[in-house]
Amino acid sequence: MDEKLKEAFRQFTVNIQTTIEEFMNPERISRILVSATKIILILIAARIVIRITNALIDRFIDSRDKFKLKIHENRINTAKGILKSVTRYTIYFIAFTPILYELNIDVKGLIAAAGIGGLAIGFGAQNLVKDIITGFFILFEDQFAVGDYIEIEGKTGIVEEMALRITKIRDFSGDLHIIPNGAITKVTNRCRGNMRAMVDISIAYEENIERAIEILNNVSKNISKESSNIIEGPFVLGVTEFGQSGIVITTIAKVEPMSQWEVERIMRKRFKEAFDKEGIEIPYPKRVIYNQAVDNNKD
């Protein structure tokens, strides 16, 4: 029994020594270092080519005026992101082949095996394929573009980047939402066509409604002359609601996309200033307290 243990231990020691000798073989170390250096150089070259290609794409698109290409700025920025994404994936795919060769992986055998494993890979990559196909349809159908204010799956914000697989939107709080294109089933684009600026302003029940509407009309005419973002209006619709403490008068205007909030702020400011000047009261919640004195001298 002791002889068998000794033989097993001796065989184990021999295997360890053989492995160490093979690993420490100068020729083997040299081959590993050369292969590692080549792989690193291939990756560096790929990164350099990607940067050069992105710079060429930017230069070509930024100089589109020389070629008399009249395309909307948002669509240009969207196409730029898609082109960069496609270029990046293509260059990495090309660089992947010599890396496999340096790792002693038979590329031809891998391609042949792809036919057998294609079905399994297809099931595993179906979400990736769905993302890419959906991204192309979004681009070709012009559902939205970079710079548009949209809502996707309950997330609202400005489209910051649209790539081959994902779309990035940033909301007004600064959060960046990264959404796979395949998950986009419904899009609300709030940037296409003219937008509506609407302001509700209240006056006290004791005020003259006709006089308040006349003041709003006069102020609206001045606002329309001063703001270049206003396309039509503002128009005073009239009384739209009876509130708890006042009468609500609504004014609307048709404005350029993404300018509705600015126009609404201007309208509120000018309406308030005009009402203060003309003595029109804007109601606010009031509380009246009755204090009934108690006569302690009563019998």
The string of DSSP letters for 110-147 reads HHHHHHHHHHHHHHHTHHHHHHHHHHHHHHHTT---TT
Final residue of a domain: which of 105, 125, 158? 105
Is residue 268 situated within a structural domain? yes
The range of the structural domain enclosing residue 274 comes to 195-278
| Domain stops at, among 90, 105, 120 | 105
pLDDT reading at 123 higher than 80: no
Which residue, of 105, 131, 159, is where some domain finishes?
A: 105
pTM of the model: 0.52
- Asked if the structure places residue 157 within a domain, the reply is no
CATH number at residue 39: 1.10.287.1260
**In the predicted structure, residue 251 carries a pLDDT above the cut 70:** yes
180 within domain boundaries: no
Contact 135, 165 (CB under 8 A): yes
Average pLDDT over residues 207-216: 89
Flag whether 11 is in a domain: yes
User: Which residues, in sequence order, are CB contacts of 239 under 8 Å at separation 6+?
Assistant: 209, 247, 248, 249
What would the mean pLDDT of 136-155 be, rounded to a whole number? 80
| pLDDT over threshold 70, residue 166 | yes
If DSSP codes are grouped into helix, strand and coil, which group holds residue 281? coil
Distance (Å, whole) CA 250 – CA 241: 9
Q: Is residue 111 part of a domain?
A: no
Does 106 have pLDDT greater than 80?
Answer: no
**Mean local confidence (pLDDT), 242-249:** 86
Higher pLDDT, 279 or 57: 279
Separation of alpha carbons 34 and 103, rounded Å: 11
Number of neighbouring beta carbons within 10 Å of residue 69: 11
The pLDDT assigned to 252 comes to 92
Bigger pLDDT: 79 or 229? 229
Contact 169, 159 (CB under 8 A): yes
Q: Average pLDDT of 151-156?
A: 84
Mean pLDDT in the chain? 76
Helix, strand, or coil (residue 198): strand
d(CA 251, CA 280): 17
pLDDT surpasses 60 at 11:
yes
Q: For 15-54, what is each residue's pLDDT tens digit?
A: 666 666 666 666 666 777 777 888 888 888 888 888 888 8
Residue 158, domain member (yes or no): no
Greater confidence (150 vs 85) lies with: 150
3-state secondary structure of 219: helix
Cα angle value 275/277/282 (rounded, 5°): 30
The answer, yes or no, to whether residue 299 has pLDDT greater than 80, is no
**9-13, 162-166, 224-228: which has the minimum mean pLDDT?**
9-13
Q: Is the pLDDT of residue 281 over 50?
A: yes
| Residue 119: per-residue pLDDT | 46
For the chain, how many structural domains are there in total? 2
Which of the residue ranges 44-53, 80-89, 277-286 would you say has the lowest mean pLDDT? Answer: 80-89
Give the mean model confidence (pLDDT) for residues 282-298. 65
Q: Sign (positive/negative) of CA torsion 70, 72, 74, 78?
A: negative
pLDDT at 250 over 90: yes
pLDDT tens-place string over residues 62-84: 665 544 444 456 566 666 676 77
CATH code (residue 260): 3.30.70.100
Q: Is the per-residue pLDDT at 174 higher than 70? A: yes
In a domain, residue 85? The reply is yes
- Residue 56 CB neighbour total at 10 angstroms: 12
Is 215 inside a domain boundary?
Answer: yes
